[in-house]
Amino acid sequence: MKKKYMLLPAMMAAATLVLVGCSGTGDTENGDPATGGLSIDVPDVPMMDKLGKAEGEVNIVAWSGFVEPAWSEQFTEETGCAVNRRVAGTSDEMVTLMRTGDYDLVSASGDASLRLIAGGDVAPINIDLIPNFGDDTVKGMQGQIYDTINGKSYGVPIGRGANILQYNSEIVTEAPTSWDVVWEEDSPYAGEIIAYDAPIYIADAAVYLMTHEPDLGITNPYALDQKQLDAAIELLKTQNGIVSEYWADPVAQITSYAGGTSVVGTSWEILRKLTEDEKFKSVLPEEGSTGWADAWMISDEAKNPNCGYLWMDYTSSAKVNGAIAMGFGMAPANGAFCETSEEAAAHCEYFHATDEEYFENVWFWTTPLEQCIDGRTDITCTNFQQWTDAWLTVKS
């Protein structure tokens, strides 16, 4: 389960990151070549066809920082819809809460979205009712495999980010271009490497193996057959012998770098920024990386669907989507935000908001399924439970 934080100076404590993703360019293998996304059997949930009268409230499950008074109060003034927020700490918690039927919307990450879609817990989105989900939405967050199924959109994009390689440039004096400094047993930084502590990290190993062991035939780090999963686990077990520590808590990760325990490893751009120390640098290595993307989804049992649609449209505007992105520390989905001010432009540049070439090398999280999402039909891929069980063997 993925845990998220509002990464401001008063950051919250920790969580376990769990699930997994897909290509940053919209994977059309095993999908619809026109719209992108994925083709799988899912429940036939009806889509809202027109807006009606606002119900007066909307109940939202969201990551910390996604629903804040700075913009929710204005929404209430404009629409008459009071906003009731429930902050969730993990994707598993979000799925559980959405299945109670008590919530209208959720800010789902790729590891939760496919579970919700496959379970019939969320409805397809009528994008015609969301004018702000239009041409200004960055191309790389449209028609993606984690929220577009059988040609139908189930998510309204919020923001995205890559899992990057961070390093202490005073010690790692030659800027790395490859993940080999954290994966190879003979790394000069053995004992000073920090790594994710979650099953999601299996995908990071798979990304590395795609380049360095091509004979394994991995073409999507979230579509692993048993042989491929075994190879990724073997690499992770090798890495286990050279890591200084694993992290799930962003505060602990920052402390590990600042205190000198770790000098190189996996990070988010916002975590590097929060170190407030220019000696810490980052790079998206030549092999590419994993990443995450979030989207609003509406419950199939939403009691307040009209207010829900109004919220999804409101928060998709350049101004509000940008406020969410700056508050959390990620690339906004609405590219027009980048042109609203010098501060916005600087934020977008730092987080590569409109740089699709950058995100083409990022494999965004989604749930691993037995149906291989790389297009193979002659073999069964490993599912999330198998990934979870395999991860437990890495540090045992």
Residue 219: both structure tokens together: 């073409």
Could you tell me which of 287, 302, 303 has the C-alpha nearest to residue 361?
Answer: 287
Give how many domains the chain has, as a whole number: 2
Q: Residue 167: CB partners within 8 Å, gap ≥ 6?
A: 175, 176, 181, 263, 264, 280, 281, 282, 283
CA-based nearest residue to 271, from 287, 240, 247: 247
What CA–CA distance (Å, rounded) separates 115 from 163? 22
User: Cα–Cα distance between 24 and 18 in angstroms, integer?
Assistant: 19
Please, which residues have CB within 8 angstroms of residue 390's CB and are 6 or more apart in sequence?
Answer: 199, 202, 229, 233, 382
Query: Do 250 and 206 share a structural domain?
Result: yes
Tokens of 194: 């920090």
Are residue 193 and residue 280 in the same domain, yes or no?
A: yes
Q: What is the pLDDT along the chain (396 residues), one digit of tens a residue?
A: 444 434 433 333 323 223 333 333 344 344 443 345 778 788 999 999 999 999 999 999 999 899 999 999 999 999 999 999 999 987 889 999 999 999 999 999 887 888 899 899 999 999 999 999 999 999 999 988 878 889 999 999 999 999 999 999 999 999 999 999 999 999 999 999 999 888 889 999 999 999 999 999 999 999 999 999 999 999 999 999 999 999 988 889 999 999 999 999 999 888 898 888 999 999 999 999 999 899 999 999 999 999 999 999 999 999 999 999 999 999 999 999 999 999 999 999 999 999 999 999 999 988 888 989 898 999 999 998 899 999 999 987
Residue type at 15?
A
In a shared domain, residues 271 and 345: no
Q: Is 203 left (phi over 0), alpha (psi -120 to 50) or beta?
A: alpha
Residues 273 and 168 in one domain: yes
Enclosing domain of residue 207: 162-290+372-394
Do 21 and 144 have their domain in common? yes
Total-model pTM: 0.85
Kindly state whether residues 341 and 379 are assigned to the same domain: no
Q: Based on the domain organization, do 222 and 357 belong to the same domain?
A: no
Dist CA 231 CA 253 (whole Å): 27
Beta bridge partners of 223: none
- Lookup: tokens for 1: 């389960």
Residues 302, 272, single domain; the answer is: no
Same domain, 68 and 177: no
CATH number of residue 203's parent domain: 3.40.190.10
